[in-house]
């Protein structure tokens, strides 16, 4: 099994480290990361265990044939990654292991072999060659995009499990991706703006905002014909409150890590995607639009 990981940051490098024991892996990453990994190895700590792993990585991928190509970059770079590396796609299954809505649709412009994925694990940089895995919010899920059962998704889920990462496959990956998007648009920007862990967002003032975010996003998902497990916004909110937030209550989100580091967030591809699709269907999304603007304001303040 040969797996290429493109745009490997904290997520991609951590996944590469785990997969490298059972597959031939190459991670395309920043030079400073690959230099540190080549010199000292990659240090993985946290709930996935503590280990030092060496695996091939660098800024230029080998010209080989791959079974799977995993894109793990920020959503804003999806098209750039596809433009730069689509000559390597060939017959490989190209997998979006990313946040946000719309990544798979972009990848599908470059290949007919698209697998969607949803990962809900927390990763924190500790050094250029060190990542702390802080929280595990559920299985990583794979599926043929936009839907349907698929042996290639089953195989990838199996190798993730063999490598020590919880995983499964589904015939409704689009619904799974949207469920994660509702989770992200509810919690990530508020956690970043208010600089607090997820558990604090259960307090009434924050929960009132989350309720409006989810109600808008759920209406948009219905207009997009997305099939979610929860049939109403109220059902999803109860699922979020009782099942998803408690295991991740102490987690500081990736958007918080981005703004504190002076980086741009992915809010345009999460809440911003809800706003864009709302306009497409003539659905009003004022709370999500306000969240997008507040997050960009927070970015500007942090970049000073």
CATH code of 99's domain? 3.40.50.720
Per-residue pLDDT of the chain (304 residues; tens, 9 = 90+): 999 999 999 999 999 999 999 999 999 999 999 999 999 999 999 999 999 999 999 999 998 999 999 999 999 999 999 999 999 999 999 999 999 999 999 999 999 999 999 999 989 999 999 999 998 888 999 999 999 879 999 999 999 999 999 999 999 999 999 999 999 999 999 999 999 999 999 999 999 999 999 999 999 999 999 999 999 999 999 999 999 999 889 889 989 999 998 999 999 999 999 999 999 999 999 999 999 999 999 999 987 6
Question: Same structural domain for residues 98 and 127?
Answer: yes
**Could you say which of 171, 204, 224 is where a domain stops?**
171
Strands 121-127 and 130-136: antiparallel
How confident is the model at residue 167, as a pLDDT?
97
How confident is the model at residue 176, as a pLDDT?
96
286-302 and 173-194 helices, crossing angle to 10°:
50
Question: Same structural domain for residues 118 and 245?
Answer: no
Question: Taking phi first (over 0 means left), then psi (-120 to 50 degrees means alpha), and beta for anything else, what does residue 181 get?
Answer: alpha
Distance (Å, rounded) from C-alpha 56 to C-alpha 20? 9
Question: Same structural domain for residues 265 and 145?
Answer: no
Question: Same structural domain for residues 22 and 127?
Answer: yes
Question: Same structural domain for residues 90 and 227?
Answer: no
Structure tokens at 221: 């998902």
Paired with 123 in beta bridges are 133
Question: Same structural domain for residues 235 and 124?
Answer: no
Question: Which CATH number characterizes residue 286's domain?
Answer: 1.10.1040.10
**Could you say which of 103, 137, 171 is where a domain stops?**
171
Question: Same structural domain for residues 6 and 146?
Answer: yes
How confident is the model at residue 302, as a pLDDT?
82
Smallest CA-to-CA distance from 229 within 294, 163, 180 is with 180
Q: How many domains does the chain have?
A: 2
Paired with 3 in beta bridges are 25, 68
Question: Same structural domain for residues 109 and 200?
Answer: no
Question: Same structural domain for residues 15 and 159?
Answer: yes
Question: Residue 7: helix, strand or coil by DSSP?
Answer: coil
CB count within 10 Å of CB 132 equals 18
Question: Same structural domain for residues 143 and 26?
Answer: yes
Distance (Å, rounded) from C-alpha 66 to C-alpha 154? 17
**Could you say which of 138, 171, 204 is where a domain stops?**
171
Question: Residue 91: helix, strand or coil by DSSP?
Answer: coil
Question: Same structural domain for residues 98 and 155?
Answer: yes
Question: Same structural domain for residues 194 and 77?
Answer: no
Structure tokens at 60: 């230029």
How confident is the model at residue 171, as a pLDDT?
96
pTM, entire model: 0.94
Range of the domain at 205: 175-302
Distance (Å, rounded) from C-alpha 74 to C-alpha 9? 9
């Amino acid at each position: 099994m040969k797996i290429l990981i493109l745009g490997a940051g904290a997520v991609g490098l951590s996944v590469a480290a785990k997969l490298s024991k059972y597959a031939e892996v190459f991670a395309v990453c920043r030079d400073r990361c690959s230099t540190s990994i080549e010199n000292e190895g990659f240090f993985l700590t946290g709930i996935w265990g503590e280990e030092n792993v060496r695996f091939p990585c660098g800024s230029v991928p080998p010209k080989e044939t791959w079974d799977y190509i995993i894109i793990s970059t920020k959503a804003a770079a999806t098209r750039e990654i596809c433009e730069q590396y689509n000559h390597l796609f060939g017959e490989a299954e190209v997998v979006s292991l990313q946040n946000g809505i719309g990544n798979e649709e972009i990848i599908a412009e470059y290949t007919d072999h698209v697998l969607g994925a949803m990962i809900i694990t927390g990763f924190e940089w500790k050094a250029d060659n060190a990542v702390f895995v802080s929280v595990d919010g559920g299985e990583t899920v794979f599926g043929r995009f936009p839907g349907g059962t698929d042996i290639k998704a089953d195989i990838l889920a199996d190798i993730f499990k063999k490598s020590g990462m919880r995983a499964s496959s589904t015939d409704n990956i689009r619904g799974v991706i949207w469920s994660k998007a509702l989770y992200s648009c509810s919690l990530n920007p508020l956690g970043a703006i208010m600089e607090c862990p997820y558990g604090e967002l259960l307090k009434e003032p924050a929960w009132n905002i989350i309720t409006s975010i989810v109600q808008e996003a759920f209406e948009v998902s219905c207009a997009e014909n997305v099939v979610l497990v929860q049939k109403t916004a109220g059902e999803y909110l109860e699922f979020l409150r009782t099942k998803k937030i408690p295991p991740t209550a102490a987690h500081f989100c990736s958007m918080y890590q981005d703004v504190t580091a002076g980086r741009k967030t992915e809010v345009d591809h999460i809440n911003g995607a809800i706003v864009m699709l709302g306009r497409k269907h003539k659905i009003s999304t004022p709370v999500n639009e306000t969240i997008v603007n507040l997050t960009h304001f927070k970015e500007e303040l942090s970049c000073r």
